Amino acid sequence: MFVEPRLGGREKSGWIEVICGCMFSGKTEELIRRLNRALIAKQKVEIFKPAIDKRYHEEKIVSHSDREIRSTPVNFANDILLLSGDCDVVGIDEAQFFDEAIVEVCNTLANQGKRVIVAGLDMDYKGKPFGPMPFLLSIAEFVTKVHAICAQTGELASFSFRLKENKSQVMLGEKDAYEARSRRAFVEGMKQSQIEDQN
């Protein structure tokens, strides 16, 4: 369980928290939980998501279990700097869909004394590091990796297996398009996909 750090000293200290994992692992759920706690503490909170992600709602961040929180959709990472103002906490969902500038944006916000909470997929459907996420993991003071349950084996899952034929790294989808899988089930599925591609 993640424990929020206490602010120390007279100067307001900023930091970066990254919540990562595969599809259906509860990343957004954990992001919403932390942001709601900040709101209860009467902190000023600004929340952002990529404008391309309209799966559940045009503006709100919504978890797979239907928990939701207001957010501002943005097209570019640098928009977050312009819109975050004098807030205490910045929440960012689906960080893997942002351009590389998101890394410098998070650093700048943390250097301004803000608490920055970022959620995103750490790996794409091939099991490779996804977009800016490895860089965000490197600069974060706190990293939480959450896991799903494998749809094939019932074991802990860290991989997002794509069920539909599509070679694009970015493909928005839900349970009709992706399955959470354990390492063993993911590797077996990838081997089967390669065999099918060759036939």
For residue 148, CA distances in Å to 9, 26, 71, 197 come to 38, 7, 25, 28
Distance CA 16, CA 32 (A): 16
Catalytic residue status for 94 = yes
Place of tokens 């990796």: 145
Bridge partners for 50 per DSSP: 74
Provide the pairing of β-strand 115-121 with 142-146: unpaired
Distance CA 24, CA 59 (A): 20
Q: Which amino acid is at 153?
A: T
The beta-strand segments (E) located in the chain are 15-21, 45-50, 61-62, 68-69, 72-74, 89-92, 115-121, 142-146, 148-149, 156-157, 159-162, 178-181
Strand, coil or helix: 122: coil
Length of the chain (residues): 199
Q: Which of 17, 94, 165, 196 is catalytic?
A: 94
Catalytic residues: 94
